[in-house]
Amino acid sequence: MPSALTWFDREGKELGAAGERGNYQYFDLSLSPDAARVATTRSSMKPSGNTQAIWQVDLVRGVSARFTFGPSPDASPVWSPDGSRIAYAGTRSGGTGIYQKPSNGALKEQVLLPSTPDLKVTDDWSRDGSYLLYARQDPTTKADLWVLPLAGDGTPSGAPAPFADTEFNENQGQFSPDAHWIAYASDESGRFEIYLKAFPAGSGSKTQVSQAGGMQPRWRRDGKELFYLSLDGNVMAVDIGQGSIFRAGLPKSLFHVPVERRGGILASFDWDVTPDGKRFLIDTNQASSRPVVVVLNWDTALKEK
């Protein structure tokens, strides 16, 4: 089913479409730091060759431009904090690696992590530019979160290290704006919930933030609010206190939105939020975003005429 990029406000009012609509699906939304562009995986629904690549959508002019052009699929783009580069996962030589390119597409891609058989998904780039957060599939510990240290130019400055690698699935990690916490989804309770854990690992315990399930966390730019999607499709908001003692408020529902759920424990993000937390860009299913009216006993009504 084709999907569409749609803007919503905090009350769930549809503000309009973003970018072009066509016979393709969007995956993995990532707003640029200034929220003027979105990097996304776009997959054509035409069965011919490699149809999955990274695209950029100019949200001011409403035009799209392809960003990656390789013969193999690319996915899960994330922006560097200054917006000058985009990191993404790519299938190469029968495995998955992590790569980066200047966001203007001027240079060839650079390898951050070489291709290996385990599946990888890029999740986030810390605000200070020092770390790249990604998820990887492990045959023993399932989906795990790993951190790759980066130098000032975005190149690796050390070996990757695990952040959350229990026997449960941990994915969809997001650095807090000050990089002191990572919000992520885990199914350790039997269903996916949102947790906060201090970063770097070992410097504090984790805290469950969601109630009744949650996935795909997103931070407001000032770190005072955390958003996530409930399992029944509501955009949830949690107030975050950042004093000497960490505090998380009770989750509150902002609005319900038609989000097409996609399988896979390394699924990325179907939505993003502007830095001020006032507008939400969501990948909605074109068919599900319109109401369906069902008329019952229509034959009886015709007989009465």
CB-based contacts of 183, cutoff 8 Å, min separation 6: 173, 174, 176, 194, 195, 196, 209, 217, 219, 226, 228
Give dist(CA 107, CA 99) in Å, integer: 12
Strand-pairing partners, residue 240, are: 248
Query: What are the tokens at 82?
Result: 């200054």
Residue 105 CB neighbour total at 10 angstroms: 16
- 3-class DSSP assignment, residue 299: helix
Give the model's pLDDT for residue 19: 80
Give the model's pLDDT for residue 290: 42
Tokens 């805290």 map to which residue? 207
Give dist(CA 32, CA 37) in Å, integer: 5
Strand-pairing partners, residue 108, are: none
Give the model's pLDDT for residue 259: 66
Query: What are the tokens at 40?
Result: 């996304």
Is the pTM value of this prediction over 0.85?
Answer: yes
Rg value, the chain, Cα? 20
Give the model's pLDDT for residue 262: 52
Domain 3-304: which topology?
Neuraminidase (2.120.10)
Residue 204 CB neighbour total at 10 angstroms: 14
CB-based contacts of 264, cutoff 8 Å, min separation 6: none
Give the model's pLDDT for residue 23: 81
**pLDDT tens, the chain, 305 aa long:** 677 899 999 999 999 999 877 788 888 999 999 999 999 999 886 666 557 999 999 999 989 999 999 888 999 999 999 999 999 999 998 899 999 999 999 889 999 999 999 989 999 999 999 999 999 998 888 999 999 999 988 999 999 999 999 999 999 999 999 999 999 999 999 999 999 999 986 556 789 999 999 999 999 999 999 999 999 999 999 999 865 567 889 999 999 987 655 545 677 799 999 999 999 999 986 444 444 334 444 444 445 54
3-class SS shares of the chain: helix, strand, coil, % to 5? 0, 50, 45
**8 Å CB contact between 247 and 240:** yes
Domain definitions of the chain by residue range: 3-304
**8 Å CB contact between 272 and 285:** no
Give the model's pLDDT for residue 292: 39
Let me know if 135 is exposed, middle or buried by CB neighbors in 10 A (0-12, 13-18, 19+).
buried
Give dist(CA 101, CA 39) in Å, integer: 12
